[in-house]
């Protein structure tokens, strides 16, 4: 049982978010602000009926028109997870697009992820552009985050993905990026305390300067200023999230992928990376008392794909297969080139958070506000 730091514990009466999210607020009926936010801000702006279809058809036409005579008309990053895999299927089979499909290999792909990417690429007859991150740099970057004591250990993987995406868009002069992000399975925000911004270079620089030991000569970096301003406004690169314009149900998407591509499901969202499986399934719940399944399940509850009874039942079981923890603990330590004891030491060390290191949180907050006021980001979601 994971205990919360606070003595007062409360779970939302509608979804399964609880006080392990430190900024959660409840109304008089015990309904949390994630649920209020969904009802007031997301749902009114989320059209998956005919209006959404028509809008998406117009967008697809614009994408095609932007790339006449070119080899690719859009860019699509694939992790091997269900959202990006399903989006690839739609892009090619339903919209008739010609995406440049790329994958970032940060050294932690599970065999299942490799299988899932390969079966799709083969069946659709596409080429895959793989960016392999220099392992010595990646390892050192990840170790720096372990040594810093913060919860957001996924940043070295996430940042490489984002930076590579924009690098490809820039290099091949592709104006549209298809993104598998969606309200249907991701409408609830992860708490900032555990999932800090992956593109805050002040934080990354501070942590790598203090704890890193090798020079990051080839690792792809991209600051938020570069991709949100330079690439968007100067180069005119747009991000499109097709899954938000249609009904998107995870179970149906899975069934289609399994049938059409011999695609195989993962036991949990984000488990396509062996590192993320360890980090979200074990490290976050056990070291920090935050179980990310609460966010995933709550999104599914709000969009009618799961009941809160089912979610609460599942949450009683640990996300991690406890029989395998020894094996995986050793695997992670060996892969990072450290002893099991050293890894255990990071697990036991005092907890640190993003505010313990340099950060530009205020700039990020201001930027989000500005984009909302300018009407660029129409759907204003709770800021973590």
Q: Which residues of this protein are in contact with Zn ion, per CB under 5 A?
A: 12, 14-15, 17, 32, 34-35
Cα separation of 327 and 350, whole Å?
25
Which CB atom, from 19 or from 148, has the smaller least distance to Zn ion? 19
Q: Minimum CB separation from Zn ion for residue 45, in Å? A: 19
Q: Minimum CB separation from Zn ion for residue 17, in Å? A: 5
CB atoms within 10 A of CB 107: 19
Which CB atom, from 14 or from 164, has the smaller least distance to Zn ion? 14
Report whether 235 contacts 170 (CB < 8 A).
Answer: yes
Q: Minimum CB separation from Zn ion for residue 35, in Å? A: 3
Q: Minimum CB separation from Zn ion for residue 188, in Å? A: 8
Q: Minimum CB separation from Zn ion for residue 265, in Å? A: 27
Which CB atom, from 34 or from 139, has the smaller least distance to Zn ion? 34
Which CB atom, from 14 or from 203, has the smaller least distance to Zn ion? 14
Enter the tokens of residue 14: 């509608």
Cα separation of 299 and 301, whole Å?
5
Q: Is 56 helix (H, G, I), strand (E, B) or coil?
A: helix
The size of the chain, in residues, is: 384
Parallel/antiparallel/unpaired status of strands 176-178 and 74-77: parallel
Q: Minimum CB separation from Zn ion for residue 40, in Å? A: 13
Q: Minimum CB separation from Zn ion for residue 356, in Å? A: 29
Report whether 103 contacts 131 (CB < 8 A).
Answer: yes
Enter the tokens of residue 12: 């939302």
Which CB atom, from 24 or from 202, has the smaller least distance to Zn ion? 24
Burial class (CB in 10 A: 0-12, 13-18, 19+), 286: middle
Q: Minimum CB separation from Zn ion for residue 82, in Å? A: 24
Which CB atom, from 24 or from 379, has the smaller least distance to Zn ion? 24
Task: Please give the backbone phi and psi of residue 70, each rounded to the nearest 5 degrees, phi first.
Answer: -100, 165
Which CB atom, from 15 or from 160, has the smaller least distance to Zn ion? 15
Q: What share of the chain is helix, strand, coil (3-state, %, to 5)?
A: 55, 5, 40
Enter the tokens of residue 232: 């968007």
Instruction: For Cα atoms 359, 105, 123, give the angle at the middle one, nearest 5 degrees.
Output: 135
Which CB atom, from 154 or from 186, has the smaller least distance to Zn ion? 186
Match 């938000």 to its residue by tokens: 244
Match 């002040």 to its residue by tokens: 202
Which CB atom, from 34 or from 147, has the smaller least distance to Zn ion? 34
Nearest residue (beta carbon) to Zn ion: 12
Enter the tokens of residue 221: 């970096």
Cα separation of 320 and 11, whole Å?
22
What residue ranges in the chain does DSSP mark as E strands?
A: 74-77, 99-105, 128-132, 176-178, 238-240
Q: Minimum CB separation from Zn ion for residue 196, in Å? A: 22
């Amino acid at each position: 049982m994971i205990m919360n730091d606070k003595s007062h514990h409360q779970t939302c009466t509608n979804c399964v978010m609880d006080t392990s999210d430190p900024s959660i607020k409840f109304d008089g009926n015990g309904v949390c602000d994630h649920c209020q936010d969904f009802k007031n801000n997301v749902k009114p702006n989320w059209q998956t009926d005919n209006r959404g279809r028509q809008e998406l058809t117009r967008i697809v036409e614009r994408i095609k028109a932007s790339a006449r005579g070119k080899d690719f008309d859009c860019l699509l990053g694939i992790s091997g997870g269900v959202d990006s895999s399903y989006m690839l299927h739609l892009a090619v089979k339903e919209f008739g697009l010609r995406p440049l499909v790329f994958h970032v290999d940060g050294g932690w792909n599970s065999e299942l992820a490799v299988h899932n990417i390969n079966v799709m690429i083969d069946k659709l007859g596409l080429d895959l552009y793989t960016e392999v991150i220099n392992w010595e740099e990646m390892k050192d970057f990840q170790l720096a985050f372990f040594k810093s004591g913060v919860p957001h250990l996924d940043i070295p993987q996430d940042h490489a993905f984002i930076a590579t995406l924009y690098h490809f868009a820039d290099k091949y002069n592709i104006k549209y990026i298809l993104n598998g992000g969606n309200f249907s399975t991701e409408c609830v925000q992860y708490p900032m305390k555990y999932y800090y911004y992956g593109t805050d270079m002040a934080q990354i620089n501070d942590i790598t300067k203090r704890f890193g030991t090798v020079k990051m000569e080839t690792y792809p970096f991209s600051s938020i200023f570069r991709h949100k301003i330079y690439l968007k406004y100067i180069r005119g690169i747009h991000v499109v999230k097709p899954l938000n314009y249609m009904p998107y149900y995870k179970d149906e998407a899975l069934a289609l992928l399994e049938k059409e591509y011999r695609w195989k499901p993962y036991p949990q969202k984000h488990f396509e990376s062996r590192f993320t499986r360890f980090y979200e399934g074990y490290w976050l719940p056990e070291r920090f008392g935050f179980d990310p399944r609460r966010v995933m399940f709550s999104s599914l509850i709000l969009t009618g794909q799961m009941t809160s009874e089912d979610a609460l039942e599942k949450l009683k079981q640990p996300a991690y297969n406890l029989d395998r923890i020894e094996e995986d603990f050793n695997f992670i330590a060996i892969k990072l080139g450290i002893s099991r004891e050293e890894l255990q030491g990071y697990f036991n060390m005092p907890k640190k958070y993003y505010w313990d290191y340099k950060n530009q949180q205020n700039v990020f907050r201001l930027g989000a506000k500005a984009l909302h006021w300018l009407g660029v980001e129409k759907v204003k979601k709770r800021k973590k």
